[in-house]
Amino acid sequence: MISLEDYLAKGQTTISNMLLDHYRQLGLSNDEFLLWLQLFRYHEQGNDFPDLRDIAEIMGSDQKEIYHWLNQLLKKDIIKLDAKKDPFGKMTDYYDFSGIYGRLDALLKQQAHKQEAQSNEEKIRNLYQLFEGEFGRPLSAIEYQRISQWLEDDHYQPELVQLALREAVLNQAYSLNYIDRILLSWERKNITSKAQVEEEQKRRKKQFLQKDSLQQEEGPTPKIPMHNWLEGE
């Protein structure tokens, strides 16, 4: 039985769980990744260019397999073979492990972009369904095109178009032209988010109350009228 002292003397190799989760998506086979782990283990112990015969023995593989897997790691830019001067001025070979981290970073960004695109597509589908639900009928081809122009040409976020639809519905104005006036008004004021829309609504409410208080000092607080977007600001 191994003693605790021997166990601790062997040290530990620490790697990110992201590599364990994604090495297959980086194009690595199990054998290639295990070889990378063995090389990285030696690197962590201060040996930047270990004897591959030792690794072959540990992995229970012949040297031809080890050289084949190493060649694959080099071809896939997972590791790089480079040289540097040691403290005595002698050139020594070493393995550069930065390649795998660059590949992993690119993969994660690609996945994040894909997820964002899928999420945006779902928001757009929901937006069309919301329009049809509020209008109580299927949208015409021209209406689909108009909403698409808001999203693709004018670059309005689906959430902002949804808020403009809500504003129009509260005013009982089931018209894309009316919604377009709302969006244009918000664009002139650089309003691009739900928080900014809510802040603008508070500003209009406060402005109305201040104006009304000058005309009526007593009596109950008047009901706040809806904003008519067909009128000027």
Domains 4-96 and 124-215 share a fold: yes
Domains of the chain, residue spans: 4-96, 124-215
* H helix and E strand count, the chain: 10, 2
Residue 211: predicted pLDDT: 72
Q: For position 7, what pLDDT does the model report? A: 72
The helix (run of H) or strand (run of E) holding residue 72 is helix 63-75
**Structure tokens given for 168:** 């129009």
> Which two structure tokens, joined as six digits, stand for 207?
């402005």
Q: Which residues of the chain have pLDDT under 50?
A: 224
Query: Sign of the C-alpha dihedral, residues 183, 134, 208, 198?
Result: negative
CATH (one of 3.40.47.10, 1.10.10.10, 3.60.15.10, 3.30.365.10) for 4-96: 1.10.10.10
CB 57 within 8 A of CB 138: no
Superfamily of domain 124-215 in the CATH hierarchy: DnaD domain-like (1.10.10.630)
Residue 130: the pLDDT is 97
Question: What angle separates helix 194-215 from helix 176-188, to the nearest 10 degrees?
Answer: 90
Q: What angle do CA 152, 191, 226 make, to 5 degrees?
A: 105
Span 196-207, pLDDT tens digits? 999 998 888 888
